[in-house]
Structures are given as structure tokens and as C-alpha cells.
Amino acid sequence: MTPAYLSYWLTIFLMVAGLYILIARGNLLKKLIGLAVFQTSVYLLYIAPGKLIGGTAPIVAEGFTRYSNPLPHVLILTAIVVGVATLALGLAITVRIREAYGTVEEDEILERDRADAE
Amino acid sequence: MAATVVAMVLQRNLLGVVVLFAIYSFLMATVLAGLDAVDVAMTEAAVGAGVSTVLLLGALHLTGSWEAKPLHRPALPLVLAAAVGAVLVYGSFGLPAFSDPQAPIHTHVAPRYLNEASKETGVPNVVTAVLASYRGYDTLGETVVVFTAGAGVIALLRRRRKGRR
Amino acid sequence: MKGDIILRVIAKLLVPFMLLFALYVQFHGDYGPGGGFQAGVIAATAIVFYVLVFGLEAGRRLLPDWLAEKALAAGVLLYAGVGVAGLLLGGNYLDYFVLDADPVHGQHRGIFWVEAGVMLTVTGVMLKLFYMFADRGRDGEGE
């Protein structure tokens, strides 16, 4: 039973590690990197079930009869590009925050907002 | 890859974290290629280890490069993350085993794509055929998303010619 | 100085091959792995490599900002235009088989133009992103 589920458990470990970076660290840049790690682990989550042992890449060619499933590949291709778009926008917002507050540490930003509100 | 991510969690020099992220992307691309996902592996290598790393380095240059010491104790996030992991592991027992040919993912619509794509579109690469022809709307939406990201960054980071802010 | 010369020569040799590889990946995407996204990213990376070695001004002379912005928009328009062409020729939106007398050939044409549109947009966006981030840092907001 264990080897059959190993791919899922590895993916879950990567996902949880990315989630931990996202919620437990205060630096905005590191949070964004944690988000990117989380997204990448989700790609693995989708592609691992699509593989057939003994199959080959889904390009129709002479001599091959068993192909791995092409459908997850298509979805993940879109997901990768959307992920980089999200990362780019997040980085742009972080740069603007740095210019407005002088720091990218979440604690200091909240301090400054609290001080301004009084 | 697990070791890389753990090192990323503990490392506080952000340049080191970005380099570790590039290593992680390359390892992920290798694993994906081993899983027969050649298109995806090429894209992940080019995008994750190429463009993402370049953008992260650019942003790193514009902000600081050291992460401050965490003020709060990591007990609550660690417990939360472990709880999420436990729930996910419990859920994974209901999923089909690795490389099971009878799993629903292989019997529903994929055989039709694999058998018909070459005849209907004349293109041997089934992934390209599905991406551009069978699921063309999704690719249109994705192109618009990329365009929006570019437009958004232009709007955020545009400079005024005279005077700042 | 010595290191500088080596970098310049190698960059001058490598950048044309990188661009050629990007075009190869784009057009060969029907028969092997590849397609619009990979080709766009590889082409943008080639220009980024050139800028890293020769400086931002040289890169701007090679591929100016306005060209990247126009490419950004032109790609999306091209993609949507292929869809509209399908409408005008009698099918539904984004139908490829009406684009030619032989439906399979019509699929070929549709896929070709659609992937070209995707490559234009992706190259334009990645390059413009790089230019914006590099630009922000050079005049320095007082840092």
C-alpha cells in the first residue's frame, strides 16, 4: 500500500511546507516564495496520477501504444503561466509597499498603520 | 526537493532563499520529465527557474535582502500546517493508487483525445492539439490573464516624468 | 577586464542560438514538446541575457519598450482575431475547421496562428516585466 500513495504524501509534504512559509514568516518576499512553492506542489499533485507505468509522453508516434494522460498536462500548462503572472503582480505590489512604508516586514507595516490610525 | 524546501523555511538570507527556489524549480522540472510530462517540464524549467527567478532577483534588489528574526513563536502555524497535512493525508487514502489504469482519470475523456486528436487535427503532439484546438477557450483566457498581469505591473510601476509621487 | 571580454564574446555567440531555439520550439510544437508559452519565455530569456551582459541601454536599443508593449497587445488581438475569423467564415467562435477547404488543414492553420499570438503576448509581457523591475532600481528611490 505504501508505494502506491507515496507520490501523494510527498506532494502533501511540499504543500504543507509552502503553506507554513506563507503563514508563519513575516517578510512579504518570503511569503510570495512560499506561495510559489505551494503552487508548484499542486502541479505535482495533478500530474502524478496521470502517469501510466510503461507509457510514454503523449505524442503520437510509431511503435508506441500506451500514452500517459494528456489532460492534466494541458491544465497545468495554463496553471504555470497563471502562477508566474500572479508572482509578477505580487512582486510589483511588494515593491510599491517598500517605497511607501520603507520596509517589507509585515509586523513593522502593521505597527506603522496602527501608529497612523491614532 | 523536500530537503530544499526545509532549507528554504529555515534560511533567512533572502538571496539564498531565491537560489534555493531556483534549485527547487529545476528539481521539479526533472521530476515532471520523469513522469512523462515533457511539455510541462519544459515550461516549468523555463518559467520557474528562468523568469520567476529573474523577477524575484529584481524585486530583491529593490527591497531588503535579509529577513528579520521572527517575533512570534512558530507554535500555532506549525500546529495548523501539521493539522492541514494530516487531513490531506487522511483524504489521500480515498484516491486511486499510483499508475492505476482503471482510475477515472484514464477512462473518461482522455482515450478520445488520444485516439482522435491525430486524425481530427493532424497534429501528433496531443497536448498542443488539446491546448490550442479542443480547449482553445481556456488558452484564450490564459493569454488574457498574462496580458492583464503585464498591464497591471505597468500600471503599478509606471514612473511619472516630472516629480515623484 | 578579462572576464568582461569573455562574457561579451560568449553572449554575442549564444544570443542568436537562443532566439533560434525559441523559434524552433514554437514551430516544432506540433511534433514534439513545445508551443507558444515555452517559445515566448525562451525568447524573453535570450533578451534578458543580452541585457545582463551589455547593459539596459543596449537592450533598449535592441528591443525598445514600445515594441514590447505593442507585442503584448497584438498577441491577444491575434488570438481573438482567429476566433472572429471562424465566426465570419460560417462556424462558431474559435472554430478552426472552417478556415480552409480541408478541415484538417484548417486546424493546422488555426493552431499555427493561435500559437503565434500566444508567443507574441508572452514574450512582450516577460520582457516588459523585466524592463519595469530593472528600471525601478536604476534611478533609485532615494536608496
> What is the ipTM score, two decimals?
0.86
Chain A residues in contact with C122 (beta carbon < 8 A):
81
pLDDT over 50 (residue C141): no
The Cβ of residue B154 has, within 10 Å, a number of other Cβ atoms equal to 18
Subunits next to A (3 or more Cβ pairs <8 Å) are: B, C
Q: CA angle, corner A59, sides to C103 and C46, nearest 5?
A: 95
**Model confidence at C22, in pLDDT bands (50, 70, 90)?**
very high
**Model confidence at B165, in pLDDT bands (50, 70, 90)?**
very low
- Average predicted confidence (pLDDT) for chain C: 84
Distance CA C15, CA A36 (A): 29
CB B14 within 8 A of CB B66: yes
Residue at B22 is within a domain:
yes
Q: How many domains does chain B have?
A: 2
Q: Specify the higher pLDDT residue, B129 or B100.
A: B129
Please choose, from the candidates C83, C79, C115, the residue with its C-alpha nearest in 3D space to the C-alpha of residue C98. C83
Strand, helix or coil for residue B27 = helix
Q: How many domains does chain A have?
A: 1
pLDDT over 60 (residue B76): yes
**What is the interface size between B and C, counted as CB pairs within 8 Å?**
137
Distance CA B159, CA B113 (A): 48
Neighbouring C-alpha atoms within 13 Å toward the C-beta of A1? 4
**Mutant choice from C49, C122, C127 vs B, greatest count of B C-beta within 10 A:** C122
- Which one-letter amino acid corresponds to residue A83? G
Chain B residues in contact with C117 (beta carbon < 8 A):
143
Q: H or E segment at C121?
A: helix C103-139
pLDDT of residue C34: 82
Residue at B129 is within a domain:
yes
Distance CA B64, CA A108 (A): 14
Interface residue A102 vs chain B (CB under 8 A): no
- Exposure of C67 by Cβ count < 10 A (0-12 exposed, 13-18 middle, 19+ buried)? middle
Segments making up each domain of chain C, as ranges = 2-139
pLDDT in tens, C70-92: 888 899 999 888 888 888 887 77
Distance CA B40, CA B43 (A): 5
Tell me which residue range forms the domain holding B144: 103-165
Mean pLDDT for the stretch of residues B109-127: 78
Question: Residue A49 gets which letter from DSSP?
Answer: G
Interface residue B58 vs chain C (CB under 8 A): yes
**Model confidence at C42, in pLDDT bands (50, 70, 90)?**
very high
Interface residue B3 vs chain C (CB under 8 A): no
**Model confidence at B68, in pLDDT bands (50, 70, 90)?**
low
Nearest CA in chain A to C128: A88
Q: Which residue has the cell 500500500?
A: A1
Q: H or E segment at B7?
A: helix B2-10
Nearest CA in chain C to B137: C94
Q: Which residue has the cell 514551430?
A: C27
**Model confidence at A115, in pLDDT bands (50, 70, 90)?**
confident
End-to-end CA distance of chain A: 59
pLDDT of residue B161: 47
**Mutant choice from C129, C130, C136, C143 vs A, greatest count of A C-beta within 10 A:** C129
Task: Quote the minimal CA–CA distance from B45 to chain C in Å.
Answer: 9
Q: Do C41 and B43 touch (CB under 8 A)?
A: yes
pLDDT over 80 (residue C134): yes
pLDDT of residue B97: 67
Tell me which residue range forms the domain holding A77: 2-117
Q: Which of A103-107, B28-32, B88-92 has the highest mean pLDDT?
A: B28-32
The Cβ of residue A114 has, within 10 Å, a number of other Cβ atoms equal to 9
Q: CA angle, corner A57, sides to A54 and A59, nearest 5?
A: 130
- Exposure of A59 by Cβ count < 10 A (0-12 exposed, 13-18 middle, 19+ buried)? buried
pLDDT in tens, B80-110: 888 888 888 888 777 776 666 666 667 777 7
Residue at B46 is within a domain:
yes
Distance CA B42, CA B22 (A): 14
Interface residue C51 vs chain B (CB under 8 A): no
% of chain B exceeding 90 in pLDDT: 8
Task: Quote the minimal CA–CA distance from A1 to chain C in Å.
Answer: 34
Q: For helices C36-54 and B38-46, what crossing angle results, to 10°?
A: 30
The Cβ of residue A17 has, within 10 Å, a number of other Cβ atoms equal to 23
Q: Do B59 and C133 touch (CB under 8 A)?
A: yes
pLDDT of residue C124: 92
> Which alpha helices (DSSP H) does A62-105 contain, by range?
71-101
- Please enumerate in sequence order all residues whose Cβ is within 8 A of that of C78, keeping only pairs 6 or more positions apart, or say none: C113, C114, C116, C117, C120
Helix/strand/coil (H/E/C) assignment for every residue in C14-37: HHHHHHHHHHHHHHHHHCCCCCHH
**What is the interface size between A and C, counted as CB pairs within 8 Å?**
15
Q: Are residues B109 and B163 in the same domain?
A: yes
**Mutant choice from A2, A5, A7, A20 vs B, greatest count of B C-beta within 10 A:** A20
pLDDT of residue B101: 63
Q: CA angle, corner C58, sides to C53 and C61, nearest 5?
A: 150
- CATH number, domain with residue A91: 1.10.287.3510
Q: Do A85 and B99 touch (CB under 8 A)?
A: no
Task: Quote the minimal CA–CA distance from C32 to chain A in Å.
Answer: 7
